[in-house]
Amino acid sequence: MAEAAEFQGTTSAPACRWARHTTLVLVGLLLLVGLVQLPAAPEAHAESAGSRTVDVSIGALTPVAPTQNDTLTVSGTVTNNGGSTVTDAHVGLRVGPQVSGRSDIDDIGGRSGFSEGTDGSEIGSHTQKIDKLPPGISREFSISLPAKDLDISREGVYQLGVSLSGQTSGQSYERVLGIQRTLLPWQPSATEGKKTRLTFLWPLVSATHLTARTESDQQQTPIFPNDDLAADLAPGGRLQQLVALGKNLPITWVIDPDLLATVEAMTKSYKVDGPDGKHTPGKGQLVAKQWLSQLQTAVAGDQVVALPFGDPDLASLAHHGKDVPGTLSHLQSATELAATTVDTILGVKPRTDFTWPFEGAVDSSIVDVATSAGAHNVIARSDSLRENRTSYTPSAARQIGGGNTAVVADDRMSTAFQGDLIRADDASLAVQRFLAQSLLVNKQAPDDERSIVVAPQRMPTTSQAQAMAAALGGLTDGRWTQPVDLGDAAKAKPDPAANQQVPGPGAYPDSLRKQELTTDAFEEIQKTQETLDSFKVILTSQDRVVTPFGSAIMREMSNSWRGDRRGAAEFRNAVQSYLYQLKRQVQLIPKSDATLSGRSATIPVTVRNGLLQGITGLRLVLESSRPNRLKVGEAQQIKIDGGHSQSVKFETHANANGPVQVTARLYTDDGQPYGDPISFTVHVTSITPMVLIVIAGGVLLLILAGLRIYIQRKRSAAGGTADGGDSGDGGPGDDSPQQPEDPAPDTGSESTDPSGTGEKVNR
């Protein structure tokens, strides 16, 4: 045991020393590696963070699609977002790699941080020095250079970066402190292949600004809820800019006729709701006249597509409205009214064979509703009719069955101008993205002539419209596109490989479905229509009511209520309440109880017409709750001039004493009740018991007299047979009683005034 222990001890000592030595060497190596590598991580982090120290904003790139002979100018601002001053700085341009596909464009402009491999080298001969840049301070820059100095050899879309390089107090060597990227479509000359036929829709659509309310005057002066539309029509306003910008662009105008009708109403005297329910004069007559005049000039020679009046929400109609009887008839009326409105106000005959569902989202039920009023062209969007068999963007026109055509707008180009484009850098990037998309579409199949449609948002803001105009301006030289109107795009030969299958209702986006009008909303709309139908039949000038309320009902279904159910409900309630208010202007005057002082009398009932126009087609009916006690006369026709009342008299006949409940009600000629009935009590008191006894006695005497005559004649006949005597034809023995005379009928007062309290109807 001892020997063994000694042996183990003597052999373990060198091994331990060797292990300790090896460990020390390894630790030293690790420390050495650590000393070399530890600073590297902060350096990499500093480089990544440093390229985000300065915010670079590209405010403008002109021209937006340069040629080889152009001078390119890039301008914008740089802002120090770091904590230390930037010195020895300059701004330079970097041409990055060519963009290979349309989906790659979406990422350009959103990435931050500098990468030498993807951002390219700086064009050294064209830079701009930047003064000392303290924290939070911004400086403007503008770099101009011949486009040929970009040294781009191949046609296509390229990433163009603008970077700021400089030093900070923490790191005294030059590095990239900030970079922003945009897109540069590069085609120095006209394409050798076929140009893309491009259709750009230019929408003139606005929110609903007019209800059915008017002043109680002969001119029917309209009452606006507010005067906001005047600001949109004034110089610099949204609608004024759309007309001014679109005037010189190759576009197809898409107009909601309701906007034209509303502006035309503003050219005359109009009122605006004020505080405490008072109406103040509107102040937009001049700008309304100027805007319509400018629009008439702008659309001359261009194609005009008129949406159905009020721009009805086709998806809401398809998903919730078509099950409410009578709802779809409004779409037919809106389509017919669209043509006459545009022709009357602008003097042009519009196309009414196009419909445009909200954001171009369609399903089979929407197509069925959209084409039900005769418009066989449906403007859809390619994110609704997705492609799954083509590697390129096919032509817009698709035959979808039933003689209908889906004109499918390109979703990337149609959504290029959404979002807040107030900042110059956002607007500039939107323009460059649109142009880049259009060039890449052309490059996908340069040997095929394709027709592409762009359908932007319905109500572009002023900044969005300006960006749209700048993008179209970059295509005016026609290097890779050729403008065509919407009608030609719809007639283009469909691509057999394109998707022509309209998705089912289940494919409609939930986000859009949540914004739709509900079934309850359409039931309320139809209730208003039914109220209008029952009201107009009594009017002598129906158009004074039917026209404003018919238009208001169409506005209740507008796309402008998307996402604003509360506002839509308030609008519907306002229209319905005003219609009820007018209808109640024709009513029965409440009547107090009456006392009947004879067997026959007349009872007056008064009808008041508070409207400016006359009414006709009404019958006044008086109904007795106990006809065996009190019988009333037949119904009487009502015809009253505007602002007048008429007292109608009914003949009554009493057969017994006691109270009788009488109800007066108005009916239209087709038998429908009109307005609220009135009820009152007639007290019959003139038929006393003595009178009844006398009447009964008289009846008895008549019976007895008749019986006596019968017996006498029978005896006379028998006697004449026996002795040949006369027949008793007037001899002394003839004492037949005389027939009592009927009493003269009683008549009541002929006054036309309404009945007073506790009135007494005299004999």
Note the pLDDT tens digit of each residue in 420-432: 999 999 999 999 9
Bridge partners (DSSP) of residue 159 are 183
Number of other residues whose CB lies within 10 A of the CB of residue 325: 9
Token pair, residue 700, equals 């008895």
Residues 568 and 597 occupy one common structural domain: no
Domain check: are 376 and 227 in the same one? yes
Say if residue 164 is in the same domain as residue 313.
no
The confidence score (pLDDT) of residue 755 equals 43
CA distances from 548 to 261, 527, 543, 573, 725 (A): 11, 16, 8, 15, 92
647-665: pLDDT as tens digits: 999 999 998 888 999 999 9
CATH number at residue 128: 2.60.40.10
Mean pLDDT of 538-559: 96
Domain with 532 in it = 519-583
Q: What is the pLDDT of residues 261-313, one digit of tens each?
A: 999 999 999 999 988 878 999 999 999 999 999 999 999 999 999 999 999 99
Domain boundary among 467, 495, 513: 513
Q: What does the pLDDT average to over 474-489?
A: 95
pLDDT > 90: what percent of the chain? 73
Write the burial class of residue 534 (CB in 10 Å: 0-12 exposed, 13-18 middle, 19+ buried): middle
Amino acid occupying residue 304: V
Under 8 Å between Cβ of 435 and 471: yes
Closest of 91, 109, 85 to residue 184, by C-alpha: 109
Q: How many CA atoms lie within 13 A of 195 on its CB side?
A: 16
Return all residues near 450 (Cβ < 8 A) that are at least 6 apart: 196, 197, 392, 393, 394, 395, 441, 495
Closest among 52, 64, 84, 82 to 164, alpha carbons compared: 52
Residue 44 maps to a domain: no
pLDDT score of 725 more than 60: no
Contacts of 749 (CB under 8 A, 6+ apart): 602, 604, 761, 762
351 lies in some domain: yes
Of 486, 415, 414, whose CA–CA distance to 451 is shortest?
486
Are 54 and 139 part of one and the same domain? yes
- Residues 596, 579, single domain; the answer is no
> Which of 158, 186, 214 is where one domain is finished?
186
Domain count along the chain: 5
Q: What is the dihedral of CA 121, 127, 130, 136, to 10 degrees?
A: -50
* pLDDT at residue 190 in the model: 80
The type of residue at 727 is S
Do 286 and 418 reside in the same domain of the chain?
A: yes
Q: Is the Cβ–Cβ distance between 119 and 96 less than 8 Å?
A: yes
State the pLDDT at residue 699. Answer: 67
Q: What is the pLDDT of residue 174?
A: 92
Nearest residue to 61 (alpha-carbon basis) of 245, 238, 200, 186: 186
- Beta-carbon contacts of 752 under 8 Å, excluding residues fewer than 6 positions away, are 604, 606, 646, 647
Q: What is the mean pLDDT of the chain?
A: 86
Whole-angstrom Cα distance, residue 347 to residue 456?
26
Domain final residue pick, 535, 561, 583:
583
Q: Which of 123-127, 319-323, 723-727 has the highest mean pLDDT?
A: 319-323
Question: How high is the pLDDT of residue 28?
Answer: 44
Categorize the per-residue pLDDT at 340 as very low, low, confident or very high, splitting at 50, 70 and 90.
very high
Pick the closest to residue 64 from 144, 146, 184 (CA basis): 184
* Distance of alpha carbon 242 from alpha carbon 742, whole angstroms: 87
pLDDT, one tens digit per residue, over 97-149 is: 999 899 889 878 666 789 888 899 999 889 999 999 999 999 999 999 999 99
Q: Amino acid letter at 383?
A: D
In the predicted model, what is the mean pLDDT of residues 565-584? 96
User: CA 638, 639, 643 angle in degrees (round to 5)?
Assistant: 120
Residues 135 and 242 in one domain: no
Both 164 and 55 in a single domain? yes
Looking at the fold, whether 168 and 153 belong to one and the same domain comes out as yes
The confidence score (pLDDT) of residue 390 equals 86
Helix (H) / strand (E) element for 719: namely helix 689-723
Quote the pLDDT of residue 169: 85
Residue with tokens 């292990």: 19
641 and 618 inside one domain: yes
Instruction: Say if residue 170's pLDDT is above 90.
Output: no
Please give the backbone phi and psi of residue 634, each rounded to the nearest 5 degrees, phi first: -75, 160
Contacts of 278 (CB under 8 A, 6+ apart): none
450 close to 439: Cβ distance less than 8 angstroms: no
Residue 717 belongs to some domain of the structure? no
Domain assignment of residue 407, yes or no: yes
Residue with tokens 């331990």: 16
**Cβ within 8 Å of residue 748, ≥6 positions away:** 601, 602, 603, 604, 649, 761, 762
pLDDT (tens digit, 9 = 90+) per residue, 357-413? 999 999 999 999 999 999 999 999 999 999 887 889 999 999 999 999 999 999 999
Q: Which amino acid is at 676?
A: D
The answer to the question of residue 723 being in a domain is no
Q: Residue 497 in contact with residue 392, Cβ under 8 Å?
A: no
Let me know: does 327 contact 526? Beta carbons within 8 Å.
yes
Q: Is residue 205 part of a domain?
A: yes
440 and 423 both lie in a single domain: yes
Q: Residue 117 has what pLDDT?
A: 81
- CB of 253 within 8 A of CB of 305? yes
Predicted pLDDT at 48:
43
Query: In the prediction, which pLDDT does 704 show?
Result: 80
In a domain, 575, yes or no: yes
- Which residues touch 323 (CB under 8 Å, ≥6 apart)? 519
Q: Among 220-234, 495-509, 570-584, 589-603, name the one with the lowest average pLDDT.
A: 589-603
> Residue 696 has what pLDDT?
62
Assign 695 a pLDDT band (cuts: 50, 70, 90).
Answer: low
Q: In this model, does residue 748 exceed pLDDT 70? A: no
Residues 14, 103, single domain; the answer is: no
Q: What percent of the chain has pLDDT over 70?
A: 85
- Predicted local confidence at residue 597, as pLDDT: 76
Does the pLDDT at position 646 exceed 50?
A: yes
Structure tokens at 164: 């700021």
Is position 524 within any domain?
A: yes
